[in-house]
Structure 1
Amino acid sequence: MRYPASEKLEIIRTVEQSHLSAKRTLDQLGIPRRTFYRWYDRYLEGRPEALEDRPSAPSRVWNRIPAGIQDQIIELALEQSELSPRELAVRFTDGQR
């Protein structure tokens, strides 16, 4: 379950002000300790603004073909339209050596 920043901050303040141990308070709230301490570390580093959700998608995809190479592949595919995708890949990679 995702919590908005305001709820995360409220949970942090509840744990800080509780007369119980952090573990018992978190158990009663149903919040995993690992999750809480990740929030708490962000809170200590950047104050409440750091509790906002972060995008989970990577900023860069490891297997994306760069635009220049993609253009070369398309050009080769248009010139050699009789090739299968596998043959096209082999022809392109062999030509790059």
Structure 2
Amino acid sequence: ERWHQTLKNRILLENYFLPGDLEAQIEAFVEHYNHQRYHEALSNVTPADAYLGRAASILNQRERIKRHTIEHRRLQHRKLAA
């Protein structure tokens, strides 16, 4: 249901004069929705990543980056405070 609402909101904003134009836009939307758009219900990974089993490694990588960034900021703050 949510997918259809998003599709309608995106696709119906344009005028299409040829059926092929509409089909191309729908294909582009499906590609974007499944391969580029992060989904909060999937822990902010794409449906393609979740389906292909890449979600865990992506989330682990994000956690490592987050820890590294926090540690870097902590060190910078200590240098400025000293």
Give TM class, smaller chain. Answer: under 0.3
Structure with the higher helix share, 1 or 2: 2
Structure with larger RCO (C-alpha < 8 A, sep 6+): 1
Q: TM-score, normalised by structure 1?
A: 0.23
- With the length of structure 2 as denominator, give the TM-score of the two structures: 0.26
Q: Which has the larger radius of gyration?
A: 1
